Amino acid sequence: MIYGKLAIYLPSLRGGGAERVMVLLANGFAARGIATDLVLASAEGPYLADVSPHVRVVDLGAARVIRSLPGLVRYLRREQPRALLGALNHANVIACLAHRLAGVPTRLVVSERSTLSQARPGNRRGLVVPWFMRRVYPWADAVVAVSKGVADDLVRTIGLDPAKVHTLYNPVVTDDLSLKSQASVDHPWFAEGEPPVFLGVGRLTEAKDFPALIRAFGLLRARRPARLMILGEGELRPRLEALVQELNLEDDVQLPGFMANPFAYMARAAVFVLSSKYEGLPGVLIQAMACGAPVVSTDCPSGPAEILEGGRWGRLVPVGDVAALAEAMAATLDEAIHPDVTTRALEFGVDEAVEGYLRVMLPEGKGYQA
């Protein structure tokens, strides 16, 4: 049983893998009868609609995460939850500062979702946040890493005590994923008799390396009919569209933007491709597997090799190797029998993640009994 409440702190629910994961965890805690607060710097974003009515949303009303610091301090002093879980590294820094300023006995857990040493700062925040992480993450009672690779990287890069770092896979496969994957897709490319469709999903950012995917597809397309669709939105859209034009692939590559239900597309894709330069634990790779899609991935730090168990469930290729990616895509497309990837994906379920987070947030003797 649980005594007291749990709190999860995030900038907002404007969309993204981390936000979706935290909503799933909050809903999972509440489903077990645990009083749960979802504390947001700004209560906005599409995932608000997915929050369980049994989860209380606390809006700190801050336009920027740093401005939510006073409100989070007041919240901690007023509510004194048994444990506070932070997500996204810039919000984790604020959580650590607020916890220190509040002076409450709340257990502080921060979760890290990407490989810090691989990140390339694109702005001032990208330079400042890692500096603060090195100084304030040791204040946390525990740090959750979403893969073993992220955990090892945190210990090396920040100098964290390995005993404080716990690896917990994200709650990626939900009860409704299968149902959503069966929804219809109103797109002519998925009609019977059309060429096979390769699918990529993710924010259009440098880390996802969609240029490599487009170039690899260009090599494959020169040899056989096929199509490529990339679902997602982001700052690199103009660059990706220009590359598609440069390679004369306008008829065979589409970037339709963010889709609320990418699972229906995953279920109909001939092959799902992850082309990232780095990840934490790529949820879209697991989701595609849960939808039954054959998969190809770069062997980037961190996550894909763990998910695919070194290539057992799908081909792994070196990061940025366009020719190798094209060959793996073609070979996977030509396979007569694919691995049963849905079996592996089930190991990344919500119940397993909720149980793991509860063990870290409320260890034995601190108010939690399994």
Query: Tell me: the pLDDT tens digits for 329-353?
Result: 999 999 999 999 999 999 899 999 9
Q: What's the total number of domains in the chain?
A: 2
- Whether 341 and 314 have beta carbons less than 8 Å apart is answered as yes
Report yes or no on 182 lying in a domain.
Answer: yes
User: pLDDT digits over 226-262, tens only?
Assistant: 999 999 999 999 999 999 999 999 999 999 999 989 9
Q: What is the DSSP letter of 49?
A: G
Give the tens place of pLDDT for each residue, 13-44.
Answer: 987 778 989 999 999 999 999 999 999 999 99
Residue 129: DSSP 8-state? H
Residue 230's closest CA among 262, 194, 192? 262
Which amino acid is located at 294 in the chain? P
Is pTM beyond 0.85 here? no
DSSP string, 215-226: HHHHHHHTTS--
pLDDT at 138 over 80: yes
Q: Are residues 356 and 265 in the same domain?
A: no
Domain with 128 in it: 5-171+349-361
Burial of 21 (0-12, 13-18, 19+ CB in 10 A): buried
Residue 370 lies in a domain: no
Same domain, 24 and 138: yes
The answer, yes or no, to whether residue 310 has pLDDT greater than 70, is yes
Rounded distance, CA 119 to CA 276, Å?
12
Residues 304 and 332 in one domain: yes
Closest CA to 85 of 14, 168, 161, 147: 168
368 belongs to a structural domain: no
Q: Is residue 369 a part of any domain in this protein?
A: no
Q: Which pLDDT band holds residue 121 (cuts at 50, 70, 90)?
A: low
155: its two tokens: 């210990």
Same domain, 81 and 18: yes
Name the least confident of 73-82, 157-166, 196-205. Answer: 157-166
Residues 163, 77 share a domain: yes
> Domain of 319: which CATH number?
3.40.50.2000
Asked if residue 120 has pLDDT above 60, the reply is no
Helix/strand/coil for 80: coil
Q: Are residues 118 and 188 in the same domain?
A: no
Residue 103, pLDDT score = 97
